[in-house]
Amino acid sequence: MLALSAVPPLRAYAAEPSPQNAISPDTALHRLLQGNARYAANQLDAKDFSSGRAARAKAQYPVAAILSCADSRVAPELVFDQGPGDLFVIRVAGNYLSSDSLASLEYAVGVLKTPLIMVLGHTQCGAIKAAINEIKHPAPLPGHIWDIVDAVRPGIAKTVQAGGEDVLGKAVGTNVDYNVSRIASAQPVVSEAVAHGSVKVVGAVYELASGHVLLRQAA
């Protein structure tokens, strides 16, 4: 008979760590806002970009999907002080929803289980300026720039027609709001996730001069 002292101890197996995006939408949003506060204060966390490359080659667990403008002054990973694999970013001039960008967002939600979607506009947006000018003074536009203006127009037309002060600033915000609403109600993937509370869709505007991100609304 084998003595008890000779029986090897049971191995203690550590539980697999949960992926970083196994968090609530509000927790994901808080993480982004904390990162933006560091960015605006020029106190970015030090990052080792080589660390984790092997793990990222196997899978990705982004904490948020960002529909951002393609403007060269807006870099979501920097704006929110996040590293590789943290954000799933779709960029297009005017940060508007298209069938292609919706498919990417559906992938983020349905496959990657991303808990947060943010539509990120920004001050002094050239795409919004072009759309405002076209609404006020209709004229042919070169190449495919018309496609951008045509996509942005529905979200800002009433704002432009209302006039008043800072039409550009107001239009940037209403364009964000319009696309937040479209994404949150997009069937079936995103709308169902929103209804279940596993995903939140929010809008925000990045201030170029200050570096701050200001929230608009949540769906």
In this structure, the chain runs to a length of 219
pLDDT digits (tens, 9 = 90+) for 7-19: 444 444 445 578 9
Entry pTM: 0.90
Confidence of residue 34 (pLDDT cuts 50, 70, 90): very high
Q: Do the beta carbons of residue 186 and residue 167 sit within 8 Å?
A: no
164-176 pLDDT tens trace: 999 999 999 999 9
Judged against a pLDDT cut of 90, whether residue 43 lies above it is answered with yes
pLDDT at 115 over 90: yes
Average pLDDT over residues 105-127: 98
Instruction: Please give the Cα distance from 123 to 23 (Å, whole number).
Output: 30
> Given this model, what pLDDT does residue 18 score?
86
Q: Are 60 and 52 in contact (CB under 8 A)?
A: no
pLDDT for position 48: 84
Q: pLDDT class for 218, splitting at 50, 70, 90?
A: low
At the fourth CATH level, the homologous superfamily of domain 22-39+60-218 is: Carbonic anhydrase (3.40.1050.10)
Tell me, what DSSP letter sits at residue 219? -
- Per-residue pLDDT reduced to its tens digit, 20-32: 999 999 999 999 9
Contact indicator for 109, 117 with CB cutoff of 8 Å: yes
pLDDT tops 80 at residue 216:
yes
Which single residue is written with the structure tokens 């169902």? 192
The residue-averaged pLDDT of 144-171 equals: 95
Amino acid 125: pLDDT:
98
Cβ neighbours of residue 26 under 8 Å, at least 6 residues apart?
200
Q: Each residue of 50-86: pLDDT tens digit?
A: 888 888 899 999 999 999 999 999 999 999 999 999 9
**What are the φ/ψ torsions at residue 158 (nearest 5 degrees)?**
-65, -35
CA–CA distance, 202 with 200 (Å, rounded to integer):
6
172-203 pLDDT, tens digit each: 999 999 999 999 999 999 999 999 999 999 99
- Mean per-residue pLDDT over the chain, rounded: 92
